[in-house]
């Protein structure tokens, strides 16, 4: 199934824009409860003003809230970034750590965010269990677990570590484009013959094709 998804989405990668590990960490944290497109629209001004942990830790709260306003929950996200940046300065010398056990000590950083940073910024293996990944892993019959950490471990046991990061990207892209939560495009799915949940959505190819999107949510 993963090989077919890899062929279907050869360009699968994170849809958040960043140029270094710090930016990767920040955009991942502020992407909660909003869309990647909105984050990508807001982040250039954010990083132009505060390009380093040191600069962001000293940022005026009011200005940060203004920059993050379009994303929603801007007060909480401002608080998270101020605390996160200060922790990077105080504990890690202004550098983003690559170890999972270090990343999850940072304010606002859980295993999902830590695995994104490890995979995307450092090229290290990590499974990113977002809502799409968890939903598809259960639909595919890979696990019955609902807790993200248990899903991560269950699916991780099925694949070699070298495949963990691209596997995450394949499932997230498939979940955004075809295997939707409420109405999956079953009739236009490249792994339909292998999927135990085939039939949850329209099986007619023409009807299913209408549900396929070419990109993630706006």
State the catalytic residues: 112, 130
SS (H, E, C) 8-43: HCCCCCCCCCCCCHHHHHHHHHHCCCCCHHHHHHHH
Burial class (CB in 10 A: 0-12, 13-18, 19+), 21: middle
Residue 127 is encoded by which pair of tokens? 């499974």
Q: What 8-state DSSP symbol labels residue 212?
A: -
Measuring CA to CA, which residue among 169, 173, 207 is closest to residue 188? 207
Place of tokens 């339909």: 192
Q: Give me the sign of the Cα torsion angle 16, 21, 23, 27.
A: positive
| Inter-CA distances, 60 with 28, 55, 84, Å | 21, 10, 15
Dist. CA 186–CA 205, nearest whole Å = 8
């Amino acid at each position: 199934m993963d090989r077919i998804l890899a062929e279907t989405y050869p360009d699968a990668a994170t849809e958040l824009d960043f140029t270094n590990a710090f930016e990767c960490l920040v955009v991942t944290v502020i992407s909660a409860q909003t869309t990647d497109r909105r984050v990508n629209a807001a982040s250039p001004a954010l990083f132009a003003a505060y390009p380093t942990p040191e600069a962001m830790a000293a940022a005026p709260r009011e200005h940060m809230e203004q920059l993050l306003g379009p994303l929603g929950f801007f007060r909480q996200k401002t608080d998270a970034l101020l605390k996160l940046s200060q922790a990077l300065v105080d504990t890690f010398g202004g550098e983003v750590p690559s170890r999972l056990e270090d990343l999850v000590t940072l304010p606002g950083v859980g295993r999902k965010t830590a695995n994104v940073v490890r995979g995307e910024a450092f090229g290290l293996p990590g499974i990113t269990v977002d809502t799409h990944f968890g939903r598809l892993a259960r639909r595919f019959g890979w696990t019955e677990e609902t807790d993200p950490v248990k899903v991560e471990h269950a699916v991780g046991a099925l694949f070699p570590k070298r495949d963990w990061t691209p596997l995450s990207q394949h499932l997230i892209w498939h979940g955004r484009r075809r295997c939707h939560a409420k109405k999956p495009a079953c009739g236009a799915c490249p792994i339909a013959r292998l999927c135990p949940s085939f039939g949850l959505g329209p099986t007619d190819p023409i009807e299913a094709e209408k549900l396929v999107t070419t990109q993630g949510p706006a």
